Amino acid sequence: MMNTTLSRRMIDISLLGPFTGDFTKPYSFQVGPHWKDFIGFRVVEGTDHSRHFFGGQTWELPICPNCKESLHQIFTFDLSDPRLAIVRIDNLKELPLISCLNCSYYWEPQTFKLDPIKNQITILHQNNTQNWEMDAEDKIPSPLPRMDMKLMNMFKGDIPVDDESYESAFESFGDEYICRLLGAPLYASGPIDRECPCCSKEMIYVSTITGETYGNERNAISTVDFVIGESLIYFLFCKDCLLLKTEVQST
């Protein structure tokens, strides 16, 4: 699995900038461009007024060059939901978050192009220096079993303001839920690169996905063991270029 050199108890939030004194802006100057004065959501099992879901496959997905299997459509968000206005564009009905979860391709930055006319996603960039592949018996199925999801406003403890609350936020992420949507990213090792590789504009921070905590499988996701080590996959989106970019950090 991916090397993990950073303990959750060793995270230094000084990397993220000073606390502003305002709960709604916990760490300002580097996270600020992602923060947008917006609390964000936990994504959890349940029925919502909009069609958000885990798993399934509503797009034509590329084949992973390493393990030769279809990439995973992990979460998909209904862009008719007014709460997601920041990522809404006219010709895109839903935003899928995708990656292969069964090999080392997801450990390094990836870029995907969305084509809503053909309902197709293509790989623009991947880099695989480790050439690792999960054992067959441990692989996460693709497509993942589909399950309805709902958005819940993040709790106060999900938005850390100091070392103690940062540690607490990490403890609940992966235990109580596995997907953070919008709001402030929860970084393991400092801010990610948010420049669009096509137009060089700032991409929108969309989401972070992590795996279920070992020993706590089927708590956050009841239909499958969703275990990806201690990785956090960050998703960024460029509305102008229809590019989805991922970057991974590890706790």
User: Does some domain include residue 1?
Assistant: no
User: Does some domain include residue 2?
Assistant: no
Q: What is the pLDDT of residues 199-227, one digit of tens each?
A: 999 999 999 999 998 777 667 899 999 98
User: Does some domain include residue 6?
Assistant: no
User: Does some domain include residue 239?
Assistant: yes
User: Does some domain include residue 32?
Assistant: yes
Q: DSSP of 146-189, one letter per residue?
A: PEEEEEEEPPGGGS--SHHHHHHHHHHBTTTBSEEESS----SS
Q: DSSP of 44-93, one letter per residue?
A: EES--SS-EEES---SBPPBPTTT-SBPEEEEEEETTSGGGGGG-BTTBS
pLDDT tier, 35 (very low <50, low <70, confident <90, very high otherwise) = low
Q: What per-residue confidence (pLDDT) applies to 22?
A: 53
Gap between the Cα atoms of 62 and 54, Å rounded: 18
User: Does some domain include residue 187?
Assistant: yes
User: Does some domain include residue 8?
Assistant: no
- Whole-prediction pTM: 0.87
Gap between the Cα atoms of 224 and 138, Å rounded: 11
Number of domains comprising the chain? 1
Q: What is the pLDDT of residues 137-162, one digit of tens each?
A: 989 999 999 999 999 999 888 877 66
Q: What per-residue confidence (pLDDT) applies to 36?
A: 52
- Provide the domain limits for residue 200: 14-250
Q: Which of 37-51, 79-93, 151-165, 188-202 has the lowest mean pLDDT?
A: 151-165
Longest CA–CA separation in the chain, Å: 49
